[in-house]
Structure 1
Amino acid sequence: ATKSNDTTMWILQDTCTNAYESMIVYAPVDITGMQSVMNGCDSSSLAIMPSGFSILPDGLESRALVITSKRNEKASEGGSLLTMAFQILANTSPTAKLTMESMETVNTLISCTIQKIRTSLHCEDA
């Protein structure tokens, strides 16, 4: 777990990479609640809303790689498929409707996450 900019939250993270996929799952957790769980207290009251993404081969062998490890590298092994999942508490009321501001925030989060993944993997601009 690493500290985020918010001093009351940690980011709990798990990663997995093998020949077939790469996956990152993470969740912000309350520091006080997490410390209680780490000391043996009941974890049922600790709210965990995991988010994350996975990158898998797309199964198509006939086109150049979309994601490459080197900027000038071209290969004919197929492309990659990115799947992202976010859990965001926009409102505590189950009947509340999303506001335009909430929708814009989610859109920005998704766009920024995709761009950061593309940048970190040295993706070609499409």
Structure 2
Amino acid sequence: MFCANVSNTVSNPWMKIDGYTGCTDVRVMMKNNKELTMNLHATTVVFTTSLWLDVSPNQLFDFLRHEDSRTKWDVLSHRLTIREFASMIKGENLGNRVSLMRATTSQGKLEIFYLQESYTDSTGSYVIYAPLDEGTLSSLSKGSDPDKVIILPSGFSILPGPLPGKEDGATASFLTVAFHIVDGASTRPFISSQSIKAIYKIITDAVASIKNTVVYHSSQG
């Protein structure tokens, strides 16, 4: 589903967000997910952007997949503690894994769970996650049908390559960021100005945080 979300086709059209100072290329797509949301009035929105970062793909992958880093780029997690409490490793690389993460407040109150899959090899990497509430996770652990679970995948893809304009031959990262949320205030094909403003802030703040953290530490190291 994540791969389908970030692919632009005739049946998968994107709309560019215009009119925001400093906006490079943030695009949105509305999806009519009646079966997915179980709600006739809910619409889901995917918003994405891509950029080059002067940092190695391995370093960027390790940063984005690790639970300790999430509070540095996810505005919804800034005041939370994220901990992996279950995982399944796929192969010899410990970064290739499916993880269950728990987000709690400083008082230990549970806020949300995240189901996350991360994978990397020489051709590219991805970190994809989806939020799950406590009731859904409990139901799954008791054997309920996973096909009935609502999954809205968000995350990152990373492709290696030379940074445009640089001639040192070092491998940089082409990062695509995509978030998938339910926007109950929107009806297809219209996105309210309030939603556009919130979408733009969420993705640009995430990108700025990633750049400021990863690229800064890379230059210092």
Answer whether TM exceeds 0.5 for this pair.
yes
Secondary structure of the 2:155 match is strand
Note if 1:27 corresponds to 2:101: no
CA 1:92–1:47: 2 relative to 1, 3 Å: farther
1:44-97: per-residue Cα shift (whole Å, max 9, x none)?
A: 332110011111123568725xxxxxxxxxx42343211122211112765373
What percent identity do the matched residue pairs reach? 27
Structure with more of its chain in strand, by fraction:
2
CA 1:93–1:111: 2 relative to 1, 3 Å: closer
Uncovered stretches (5+) of structure 1, i.e. residues with no partner = 65-74
Q: Name which of 103, 120, 124 aligns with 1:4.
A: 103
CA RMSD across the alignment: 2.9
Q: Name which of 100, 116, 123 aligns with 2:209.
A: 116
Could you tell me how far apart the structure 2 residues matched to 1:94 and 1:38 are? 34
CA 1:92–1:49: 2 relative to 1, 3 Å: farther
Could you tell me how far apart the structure 1 residues matched to 2:140 and 2:128 are? 19
Aligned to 1:58: 161
TM-score (norm 1): 0.72
Letter in 2 for 1:108: K
Aligned partners of 2:186 and 2:192 also within 8 Å: no
Aligned partners of 1:25 and 1:50 also within 8 Å: yes
Aligned to 2:170: 77
Secondary structure of the 1:89 match is strand
Moved more, 16-25 or 92-101: 92-101
Could you tell me how far apart the structure 2 residues matched to 1:93 and 1:62 are? 41
TM-score (norm 2): 0.44
CA 1:9–1:91: 2 relative to 1, 3 Å: same
Note if 1:47 corresponds to 2:150: yes
Aligned partners of 1:59 and 1:78 also within 8 Å: yes
Aligned partners of 2:154 and 2:179 also within 8 Å: yes
1:89-119: per-residue Cα shift (whole Å, max 9, x none)?
A: 1127653732111111111111122123223
